[in-house]
Structure 1
């Protein structure tokens, strides 16, 4: 290996390490990480074009193909979008964060580099999780950007919604890959448990509760012998839900609050509460989809579409400006691209599952768990569209896909012939 090659490899490793660490930091670092990622990938792609080399491993990932199809669809919809051009471009840029997943797979070239990226993820998430517990104990954490918000004294950055989803996905990665760090497997396991406990007993995010429970249920089901697995799919969720509800006062309070807000919306149409706004936004989204069911209203058009339906009270309900969202990713894509958009998002989820089923068991389970958290987030929020949490999912899945495909490409025997065998 020449000195130039060593330098290029070192810079590439430095680039994806910055990206892997950035999603455990405030938004400014995430933006810096994205810049580093795009520049590094441009250099890599330029090198591939110059040398004529190809990446066969990348071609095996269905998720990459679906992402390219999704971005092409959003780009094409700019020709008929009802949104102003600046709003449409902003929305397209937000959707384009999906490209981070594919770019990370390009940047991480082998199993060793994937392990390095995951080690950086492990360390940065460990600091993130520990910081939240330190804050909950009443101590000040100098790097906590949200420390001034006394209402959420254990939220390190951004919001409790972002943090709970991040902790849920991080717990899954740390737990299922804990044996990848033999000397630190107990640390990884402890951090995974600490992350879920933080969500269930310290935070108030209802979506985070569901995500944490989903991660816990999957982990327990996979530990059950195959002959009892079908029964466990019924029993374990009931036991986990009951235990979490009875053991967490915050979960009980937030569940009761959600039911009260939903009943208030059903009876009075009140959209001033969190649940009321979501229900109202979802209703308007379905009405907007019905107006353009096949191709949608175009990228960035959600706010203008539902405001047109809402009428005179639109600004009061959805706020001023045209950059809001329905807090539901599937409906957001449905309004912008019609039924095709919702199907594309489902195809993305299916492609991620399909790719994960062909990985080694620990990476497979970690990837499937993160996909489950992402789906939960998308059901009750626009988690791929939103900044920070959307970047977190793309980066985390990108690193996991790189770990799976680079290992599978090296040891072809680990790729099962059918997905059914992978479920064993």
Structure 2
């Protein structure tokens, strides 16, 4: 009986190893684990992502995959990686610095792979649900850490309510989840499924309450209204927009009055700017203005092809004031905290054209209706506007949010378009 059971188990395992469907399901599982681990651990996300890519190999249709790479939505991210590699040839930085600067672009190569896979997999929603649930659990942990700081794995006392990573990453996650839930909530209300809509509304509000009373980045404060505005213009009537806008305005006023932390975060904008302009102090806002001013100068020196991959830090070192001075002008950095300027300094107008082509092509991909279109559109919009204040396409966490979000949602959209085309052909 035992031998028979072993033979049966071995046969099942062998059939599974030979089954493309089984491998595809395994890829989906690792994609779910990647999305679920991203809010908590960069290492785990990297491991699961590598396993996901490895499991694609046994059943990959090489011809179909190579054919898919010809699509502009896939070719543009690949072009930016190739530009980063070619840009090493005219950079004055050390070769170590050049290849280190290539590394942030490599994740973009995973985007065409995800588009290809989820064009064929019916489990794209699993990834969104996994990320949402993971962020909800992180929100609970954030509240616990706010009241019991000793529970935090972070040692920075300034980052209140942060269990892992940092407040910028956490704010990006919570803002994306909260605004993304607006679409299913509205759809559920139209279908008169009030209980489920109420549950998702409570979940969305929990993210906003955390950002109001625990911790939030100033980038999120700026971009959340923009994301809501995009949703309102696409999915609501003008009467509903006016009513919801009034409600949100009242809620914002109440949150402002109830949360000293929120007022302090917002008031730091003007305070940081004043201290930088009057005294040259390296405040958060002041440093960004300093980085942007100098980066524009570097771009003007080499506007067509830039200074080459990895050149940014050396350029800042060249124009920095003496290090002993407590001045913003003394700071040296390899990232100007603006995605466009980050690309412009290294690869000039050529790089800017490729970067904007990526964003525009991906925005156009999500022009339709449906959850996948809305989620993908929101991921791109968030990345575009937060990249005004950070290099979020190249940053590890936000960059992977973009790659996974656009890759999965884009694959789902293409899959839906193909299904509609087949239905249309069958009907005719």
Check the 8 A contact 1:296/1:338 in 2, yes or no.
yes
Structure 1 residue 177 displacement after superposition:
4.2
Measured at CA, do residues 398 and 361 of structure 1 come closer, stay the same or move farther in structure 2, by a change above 3 Å? same
SS in 2 for 1:156: coil
The one-character-per-residue Cα deviations of 1:308-357 (angstroms, maximum 9, x if unpaired) are 12254499878999873111111111101112222322222211110011
1:249 counterpart = 2:257: no
Counting only pairs closer than 5 Å after superposition, residues 91-110 of structure 1 correspond to structure 2 as 91-110=101-120
Q: Structure 2: how far apart are the matches of 1:63 and 1:19?
A: 22
Aligned to 2:411: 402
Partner residue, 1:33: 48
1:121 is matched with 131
- In the other structure, the counterpart of 1:154 is 161
Cα separation, 1, equivalents of 2:26 and 2:393: 28
**Aligned pairs, how many?**
403
1:48 aligned residue: 61
Partner SS state of residue 79, structure 1: helix
Residue of structure 1 aligned with 2:312, choices 295, 302, 308: 302
Note if 1:198 corresponds to 2:210.
yes
Displacement of 1:171 in angstroms is 2.0
CA RMSD of aligned residues (A): 3.6
Q: Is the 8 A contact 2:366 2:377 kept in 1?
A: yes
Higher relative contact order by CA 8 Å / sep ≥ 6: 1 or 2?
1
Given the superposition, is the C-alpha separation of residues 53 and 337 from structure 1 closer, same or farther in structure 2, using an over 3 Å criterion? closer
Quote the residue 1:346 is aligned against.
Answer: 356
Shift of 1:288: 0.8
Paired residue secondary structure (1:411): helix
Aligned to 2:183: 176
SS at match of 2:388: helix
CA distance in 2, matches of 1:406, 1:221: 26
Please report the TM-score for the alignment, with normalisation by the length of structure 2: 0.81
Residue segments in structure 2 that go unaligned for 5+ positions in a row = 1-11
The answer on whether the counterparts of 2:280 and 2:327 sit within 8 Å (CA) in structure 1 is no
Deviations 1:336-395 (A, max 9, x none): 1112222322222211110011x4333222222222221222111121222222222222
SS in 1 for 2:123: helix
State whether residues 273 and 286 of structure 2, in contact with CA within 8 Å, keep that contact through their aligned partners in structure 1: yes
Residue 418 of structure 1 is matched in structure 2 by none
Residue in structure 2 matched with residue 419 of structure 1 by the alignment: none
Alignment of 1:233-248 (within 5 A): 245=256, 248=259
Q: Write the distance in 2 (CA, Å) between the matches of 1:409 and 1:193.
A: 36
SS in 2 for 1:388: helix
> Deviations for 1:122-151, whole angstroms, at most 9, x for unmatched residues?
32222222322333354876xx532x4443
TM-score by length of 1: 0.82
Q: Structure 1 residues 152, 323: CA separation in 2 closer, same or farther (over 3 Å shift)?
A: closer
Any idea what SS the aligned residue of 1:110 has?
coil
Kindly indicate whether residue 276 of structure 2 is the aligned counterpart of residue 265 of structure 1.
yes
Mark the CA change 1:340 to 1:314 in structure 2 (over 3 Å): closer, same or farther: farther
Larger Rg: 2
Q: Quote the Cα distance in structure 1 between the aligned partners of 2:412 and 2:276.
A: 46
Structure-1 residue corresponding to 2:337? 327
CA contact (8 A) 2:167 2:215 kept: yes
Over 3 Å counting, the alpha-carbon distance change for 1:244 and 1:407 in structure 2 is farther
Is 1:163 matched up with 2:170? yes
